[in-house]
Amino acid sequence: MSNYLVDTFGLEGKVALVAGASSGIGAQFAKALAKAGAKVVLGARRVDRIEALAASIADETGSKTLAVALDVTDRKSVVAAFDKAEEAFGTVTVVCNNAGIAIPNWSLEESEDDWDKTMNTNLKGMWHVAQESGKRMVAAGVGGSIINTASILGLGVGGMQTSYATSKAGVLHMTRSMATELQRFGIRVNAICPGYFKTEINDEFLETELGQNMLKRSPARRAGRLEELEAPMLMLASDAASFVTGVALPVDGAHSVTLP
């Protein structure tokens, strides 16, 4: 890589934390951050997975990594994860706030328990992580970048996703609200809105006829490849995006343009 690109987009010396790093998009983000030079803390509930992933990313990239148990629905767990990250590497200044679940169902059939689980993870959980990281950056007197993984379903809606789409729309407004307040501290808050990427959250659905037809009707006529999320995330993470905050960036092959 030329010095220009390294100087512009590189993350050398930065400490990054990925919430929901044990699979799919979060695992991809953790590896990309390490390749860009950051020290990377991987957080999730499935600790065996993040420990293995942290070791393989360190081997592959030469960057330092750390696995920490993290349940974003539990504030104490969030605080403990940031404590461990800070102890190992210093203040976290790049946060991929990515943990999420989906429990598809018709809106009239969804249980209160499923609604609560979705909101507690996707919206309140993201708030826990964003607030905790913001507080710590302000206390340390450093700026940084918080990147919330929302969804194109936060921009428009699809069937059987009332609680999920509502939670992601909430994440977008939380992003905008925190971006305006945290600008004065040099902390940027942005959201990435992925279209459909095959991961554990949706692989069964995407294999069905309904899923295949939905993809065929989308402008790109395919799901995204996980590596296609890396550069948009790295741009938001890096100082290259120093004047970009409060943004909801679709990475979706124009799928969101066609949503109702």
Ligand X SMILES: NC(=O)c1ccc[n+]([C@@H]2O[C@H](COP(=O)([O-])OP(=O)(O)OC[C@H]3O[C@@H](n4cnc5c(N)ncnc54)[C@H](OP(=O)(O)O)[C@@H]3O)[C@@H](O)[C@H]2O)c1
251 binds ligand X (CB under 6 A): no
Kindly state the tokens that stand for 57.
């990313």
Q: Is 101 in the site for ligand X (CB under 6 A)?
A: yes
Contact range with ligand X by CB under 6 A, out of 5-13, 33-41, 192-200, 231-239: 192-200
**Using CA atoms, how far apart are residues 221 and 257, in angstroms rounded to an integer?**
14
Question: What's the rounded Cα separation, in Å, for the pair 143 and 223?
Answer: 34
Residues 9-38 binding ligand X (CB under 6 A) are 19-26
Q: Binding ligand X by CB under 6 A: which of 140, 199, 240, 259? A: 199
Q: Where are the beta strands (DSSP E) in 103-158?
A: 144-149
Active site residues: 151, 164, 168
* Sole binder of ligand X in the list 13, 46, 225, 231 (CB under 6 A): 46
Binding test (CB under 6 A) with ligand X, winner from 63, 118, 145, 151: 151
Instruction: Supply φ then ψ for residue 236, to 5 degrees.
Output: -65, -35
Q: Is 222 among the residues that bind ligand X (CB under 6 A)?
A: no
End-to-end CA, the chain: 41
Q: Does 133 bind ligand X (CB under 6 A)?
A: no
d(CA 125, CA 19): 10
Tell which one of 63, 65, 73, 190 touches ligand X (CB under 6 A): 73
Helix (H, G, I), strand (E, B) or coil at 189: strand
Instruction: Tell me which of 163, 197, 236, 250 binds ligand X, using CB under 6 A.
Output: 197
Buried b (16+ CB within 10 A) or exposed e, 20-42: bbbbbbbbbbbbbbbbbbbbbbb
If binding is defined by CB under 6 A, does position 170 make contact with ligand X? Answer: no
Instruction: Work out how close the CB of 14 gets to ligand X at its nearest, in angstroms, rounded to a whole number.
Output: 21
* Alpha carbons 8 and 5: distance in angstroms, whole number: 5
> Does the footprint of ligand X cover residue 194 (CB under 6 A)?
yes
Residue whose structure tokens are 């210093």: 90
From CA 145, how far away is CA 175, in angstroms rounded? 11
Q: Contact letters (x/-) for ligand X, 104-123, by CB under 6 A?
A: -----------------x--
Judged by CB under 6 A, the stretch of 31-39, 199-207, 210-218, 231-239 that binds ligand X is 199-207
* Contact residues: ligand X, CB under 6 A: 19-26, 44-46, 70-73, 98-101, 121, 125, 149, 151, 194, 196-197, 199-202
